[in-house]
Amino acid sequence: MNRSTRKFDLFSLIIGLFSLYVGYLIVKHPLTGLLSIVVVIGIFSIIRGIYQLYFAYQVRRWFNRRTGWLIFSGIIDLLLGILFLFNLPIGLTTLIYILAFWFIIDGIAECSLASVYRLFGKSYYWLIIILAVLAIIAGVVLLFRPMLGALVIVIMAAVYFFMSGILEIVEAF
């Protein structure tokens, strides 16, 4: 859009200021920030579990491939989502360990479907393999350094909201 014809975007400014405020709240109250993250992860996990079960059905139907790991991963996602949403203290206490095992299981599930991804191209296949291996490595690191994981999650959330807020404010003008 031409800069001279572009109008001020009040909605972007409001979203930007709100994002900066959320980032500030996460820094000021990291435990509350972690609890909020637990709720968001719970919702995401339930949605992802439903999708993985649907995807496993589609892979089985269209490619006639075994999808046991994908089904297992989808069920785990559903169970984790329910745990996170309906038992926040346990969800918060076990967040890092659950994420560690989640990353490891998802990485294994993606690797187990490598032959399916190869059908979509060699570069796509290798991208999936690399990301799956990185997920497994991240899971192992979280198992042995859980407090580091909690700190990184809070810092990343705060940084995201600060960056998003600044970008939205810049886009408003």
The size of the chain, in residues, is 173
Digitized pLDDT (tens) for each residue of the chain, 173 residues in all: 555 566 888 988 999 999 999 999 989 998 888 888 889 889 999 999 999 999 999 999 998 888 898 899 999 999 989 998 999 888 877 888 878 898 999 999 888 887 787 888 888 889 889 999 999 998 998 888 888 888 888 888 899 999 999 999 998 88
Q: Domain range holding 41?
A: 10-172
pTM, two decimal places: 0.59
Q: Is 132 within the bounds of a domain? A: yes
Say what the pLDDT of residue 2 is. Answer: 55
Q: Is 51 within the bounds of a domain? A: yes
Q: Is 5 within the bounds of a domain? A: no
Helix axes 88-112, 122-144, angle to 10 degrees: 140
Q: Is 1 within the bounds of a domain? A: no
**Structural domains in the chain (count):** 1
Q: Is 25 within the bounds of a domain? A: yes
Q: Is 39 within the bounds of a domain? A: yes
Q: Is 2 within the bounds of a domain? A: no
Q: Is 98 within the bounds of a domain? A: yes
